[in-house]
Amino acid sequence: MKDILKSALLFQGLTEGDLNELHRIVVKKSFPKGEIVFSEGDEGTGFYLLKSGRVKVFKMSPAGKEQVLHIITPGEPFGEVSVFTGKPFPAYAETIEDSEVLYFPRDGFIKMIKKRPSIAMNMLAVLSMRLKEFVSTIEGLALKEVPKRLGAYLIYEAEKRGENSITLDIPKGLLASMIGTIPETLSRSLSKLAKMGYIEVDGPKIRIKDLEGLKEFSS
Amino acid sequence: MKDILKSALLFQGLTEGDLNELHRIVVKKSFPKGEIVFSEGDEGTGFYLLKSGRVKVFKMSPAGKEQVLHIITPGEPFGEVSVFTGKPFPAYAETIEDSEVLYFPRDGFIKMIKKRPSIAMNMLAVLSMRLKEFVSTIEGLALKEVPKRLGAYLIYEAEKRGENSITLDIPKGLLASMIGTIPETLSRSLSKLAKMGYIEVDGPKIRIKDLEGLKEFSS
DNA sequence: CGGAAGATTGATCAGTTTCAAGCTCCGTGG
DNA sequence: CCACGGAGCTTGAAACTGATCAATCTTCCG
């Protein structure tokens, strides 16, 4: 279990001894796929770090439509905002695979920060990156149509993986809710990008045929 | 000038000596109304704290439509994200009134944080609140129509001011871009809320006639 | 092999933007 | 002091984008 602490961005720069200390305040929990980790409005008495599996953090409309804010991958923290605002969780978190999470109770964690301020610096970096992502999300939702948002997402994923071919590791319905739309519209948008010659779609495999063109289109 | 440091959330809990030290690393700048403080893509070598006036932080689409992310009021920091990600500013900042800002160069500020970790804790609180706001913004854009977003905004403002009557201190066009729409649609939405009996509009003065009803409608 | 969940396609509809015109308010200059 | 002009705001009609509803197709496990 200490490997995940050691490899997490949040705890870079800590000594072996610090990690042991952290290890002592942590509670490990396991969730099967499809389980709620916390709900919007729940009191936030600590935060989580994903050890294995995957977790979606999302908002839900009264009508039941979901907007995914973030897909958490191993090593990433989630639910941290409540620790620092003292307010309830502002969104839902649900596993989309069998997952193991580490729970950090607020008090122990705050004490640890006081002792090792570099954790605070790391946390500031994590929150800042998240803010930057949210800014992109807001920009997309407010200023761009679905095909452009989809294009931007594909470019982002392709560059992250360093390939021009993406194999979706999430259902398309989830991708739809990540870019703020519904499966039908996503399907149509994929066809549209394909018809325009930017991509090639084969089930969950998407190949970018014209990266420059797609960038131009999605900007 | 020290009063603004003393009253800023970010620097709560510091001693007089600490504030003096901060004071030494700060550069004061003045901007007339309508001036760009920084642009998207600019290298972020530090961040700003608003001393007086008001600043809008926004994204712009290629077509020129703006999405306001935040209206900064005195005492609030802006442009902090770049300090912790090391990346360029992800948005524009422009004064909407004659303004005075304090500029904190990154290096000096980082040194100060190391010396007084409570600044880091305060900064974490600030960023967390901002994340929470962004989550609401994303939720609104993705999940709600304009009249509901407008309703939610009005409720938020009314509760912040502790009154059921709001006098807009920004042009309606700016409000439109804050809730992710354009002036025409905002105008129609105000009429709609008025016709439904939730509010009463008289120029820049908006009175909430039925708070409960509006809350219900906007949820 | 059968069935359920996910994905696609078509037709329709609602909400929002766009384009265009008119209105109101207010500061400026004659 | 009043008329002018411009910015901001409002209103109407048309065009567009995306959501909804419904049907069909595919996939892939049990």
The first and second tokens of residue B177, run together, are: 């871009």
For A36-56, write each residue's pLDDT tens digit: 999 999 999 999 999 999 999
pLDDT, chain A, mean: 95
Read off the pLDDT of each residue in B146-163 and give the average, rounded to a whole number. Answer: 96
Q: How far is the CA of A213 from the C1' of D19 (A)?
A: 28
Query: Closest to B125 (Cβ–Cβ): which among A60, A84, A139?
Result: A84
Q: Are B11 and B19 in contact (CB under 8 A)?
A: yes
The pLDDT assigned to B25 comes to 95
Residues 6+ apart with CB under 8 A from B4: B49, B51, B52, B74, B75, B102
Q: Are A168 and A199 in contact (CB under 8 A)?
A: no
Rounded Cα gap, residues A58 and A91, in angstroms? 6
Q: String of b and e for B59-74 (b: at least 16 CB within 10 Å)?
A: bbeeeeebbbbbbbeb
For A193-219, write each residue's pLDDT tens digit: 999 999 999 999 999 999 999 999 998
pTM of the model: 0.95
pLDDT, chain B, mean: 95
B146 φ, ψ to 5°? Answer: -55, -50
Q: How far is B64 from chain A (nearest CA, A)?
A: 9
On chain B, the residues whose CB falls within 8 A of the CB of A68 are none
B96 torsion bin: left (phi>0), alpha (psi -120 to 50), beta (else): alpha
Whether any strand C atom is under 7 angstroms from the Cβ of A200: the reply reads no
Whether any strand C atom is under 7 angstroms from the Cβ of A205: the reply reads no
Per-residue pLDDT for A1 more than 80?
no
Q: Do A131 and B130 touch (CB under 8 A)?
A: yes
On chain B, the residues whose CB falls within 8 A of the CB of A120 are 117, 120-121, 124
Burial class (CB in 10 A: 0-12, 13-18, 19+), B40: middle
Q: Does A27 touch chain B (CB under 8 A)?
A: no
Chain B: residue whose CA lies nearest to A91: B135
Rounded Cα gap, residues A13 and A22, in angstroms? 13
Residues of chain B by 3-state class (helix, strand, coil), percent to 5: 50, 25, 30
Read off the pLDDT of each residue in B96-123 and give the average, rounded to a whole number. Answer: 95
Query: Closest to B141 (Cβ–Cβ): which among A62, A87, A138?
Result: A138
- pLDDT tier at B1, thresholds 50, 70, 90: low
Q: Are B155 and B214 in contact (CB under 8 A)?
A: yes
For A122-166, write each residue's pLDDT tens digit: 999 999 999 999 999 999 999 999 999 999 999 999 999 999 999
Rounded to the nearest 5 degrees, what angle is found at the Cα of B72, between the Cα atoms of B70 and B78? 85
